[in-house]
C-alpha cells in the first residue's frame, strides 16, 4: 500500500510540474524556460535572479509559482514518508507472489528498495516517452485553456537585461490600444518603449519609421522596461 502511494505521488508530481509549465507558457514564457521555472518552483531549487524577475513581475505568474511551491513541499513530505514506510522492515514476515515462503525481516528493506528502484525506472521511461508526454501536454493545455484556468497572454518575453529592461514580442490584437495608429501616434516612446522591428504577414520591417502604421496581426519586437511593456501593451496580463 505504501509503495502504491509513493508511486502515485511520484506520477502526480510529474503531472503537476507539467501543468505548471503549461501555465507559465500561457503567461508568455518560452517553453523551455517555463518547464525550468515550474520544476524550480516545485522543488525549490535553481531559481536564478534574472529568471525569477519574469515570474515576480507578474501577479498571474506569482500565483502559479505559489501553488507549485506549496504542492511541491507537500509532495516531498508525502514521498519521504511513504518511501520510509515502504522500506521499513515489518515484525511479521511477508512474501512475494513469485517467491515461496516468508521474507526474513533483515531482507525486507533491501527487497523493497529494489522494487522501488525498478518501479521508479519504469515510470521514468514511460513519462519521458516523447510521444506520450507530447500527447499529455497537449491534452492538459487544451483543458486549461478551455476551462479558462489561465488566460493566455499575447506576448513573449525574449530576454531580460539589467534593471528590468528587456526585449518582448507583442501580438497586436483587436483590443490593442495601438491598433491602426502610427508609431508616433502610439506614444510608446513616452513610456521608454522602442519598437525594434515589426513583423507582418507580408514582411518584416526593421527599425520602422515614426509614420509606420500598426495593423491587426502585426508582431512588435520592443525594447524597454518590461513593466512598462506589460502595462501599456499587454492587456491580458494581471
Mean pLDDT of 53-74: 81
Q: What pLDDT is stored for residue 194 in this prediction? A: 93
Listed range (99-103, 144-148, 152-156, 183-187) with the worst mean pLDDT: 99-103
Domain limits of the chain? 2-146, 155-233
Q: Is a pLDDT exceeding 80 seen at residue 128?
A: no
Round to whole Å and give the CA distance between 115 and 149: 38
Mean pLDDT of 131-149: 82
Q: What pLDDT is stored for residue 197 in this prediction? A: 92
Return the higher-pLDDT residue of 220 and 151. Answer: 220
Mean pLDDT of 139-164: 70
- Cβ burial 159-197 (10 Å sphere, 16+ → b, else e): ebeeeebbbbbbbbeeebebbeeebeebebeeeebebee
What topology does CATH give the domain 155-233?
Alpha-Beta Plaits (3.30.70)
Q: Is a pLDDT exceeding 60 seen at residue 95?
A: no
Q: What pLDDT is stored for residue 87 in this prediction? A: 67
Asked whether 46 and 36 are in contact (CB, 8 A), the reply is yes
Mean pLDDT of 32-54: 76
Q: What pLDDT is stored for residue 138 in this prediction? A: 86
CA 112 to chain centre: 34
Q: What is the 3-state secondary structure (H, E, C) of the chain?
A: CHHHHHHHHHHHHHHHHHHHHHHHHHCCCCHHHHHHHHHHHHHCCCCCHHHHHHHHCCHHHHHHHHHHHHHHHHHHHHHHHHHHHHHCCCCCCECCCCCCCCECCCCHHHHHHHHHHHHHHHHHHHHCCHHHHHHHHHHHHHHHHHCCCCCCCCEEEEEECHHHEEEEEEECCCCCCCCCCEHHHHCHHHHCEEEEEEECCCCEEECCCCCCECCCCCEEEEEEEHHHHHHHHCCCCC
Q: Is a pLDDT exceeding 70 seen at residue 123?
A: yes
Round to whole Å and give the CA distance between 171 and 155: 6
Mean pLDDT of 26-46: 81
Q: What pLDDT is stored for residue 196 in this prediction? A: 92
pLDDT digits (tens, 9 = 90+) for 165-197: 888 888 888 888 899 999 999 999 998 899 999
pLDDT digits (tens, 9 = 90+) for 197-221: 998 877 889 999 999 999 988 989 9
Report the mean per-residue pLDDT for the chain: 78
Amino acid at each position: 500500500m505504501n509503495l502504491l502511494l509513493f508511486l502515485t505521488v511520484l506520477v502526480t508530481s510529474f503531472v503537476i510540474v507539467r501543468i505548471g509549465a503549461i501555465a507559465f507558457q500561457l503567461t508568455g514564457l518560452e517553453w523551455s524556460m517555463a518547464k525550468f521555472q515550474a520544476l524550480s518552483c516545485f522543488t525549490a531549487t535553481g531559481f536564478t535572479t534574472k529568471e525569477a524577475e519574469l515570474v515576480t513581475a507578474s501577479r498571474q505568474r506569482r500565483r502559479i509559482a505559489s501553488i507549485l511551491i506549496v504542492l511541491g513541499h507537500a509532495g516531498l513530505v508525502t514521498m519521504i514518508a511513504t518511501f520510509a514506510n515502504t522500506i521499513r522492515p515489518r515484525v511479521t514476515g511477508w512474501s512475494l507472489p513469485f517467491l515461496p515462503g516468508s521474507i526474513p525481516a533483515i531482507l525486507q528493506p533491501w527487497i523493497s528498495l529494489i522494487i522501488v528502484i525498478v518501479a521508479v525506472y519504469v515510470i521514468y521511461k514511460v513519462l519521458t516517452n516523447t510521444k506520450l508526454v507530447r500527447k499529455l501536454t497537449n491534452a492538459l493545455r487544451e483543458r486549461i485553456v478551455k476551462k479558462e484556468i489561465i488566460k493566455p497572454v499575447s506576448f513573449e518575453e525574449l530576454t531580460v537585461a539589467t534593471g528590468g529592461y528587456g526585449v518582448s514580442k507583442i501580438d497586436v490584437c483587436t483590443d490593442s490600444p495601438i491598433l491602426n495608429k502610427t508609431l508616433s501616434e502610439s506614444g510608446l516612446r513616452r513610456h521608454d518603449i522602442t519598437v525594434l522591428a515589426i513583423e507582418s504577414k507580408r514582411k518584416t520591417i526593421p527599425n520602422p519609421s515614426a509614420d509606420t502604421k500598426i495593423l491587426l496581426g502585426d508582431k512588435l519586437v520592443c525594447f524597454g522596461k518590461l513593466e512598462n511593456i506589460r502595462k501599456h501593451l499587454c492587456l491580458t496580463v494581471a
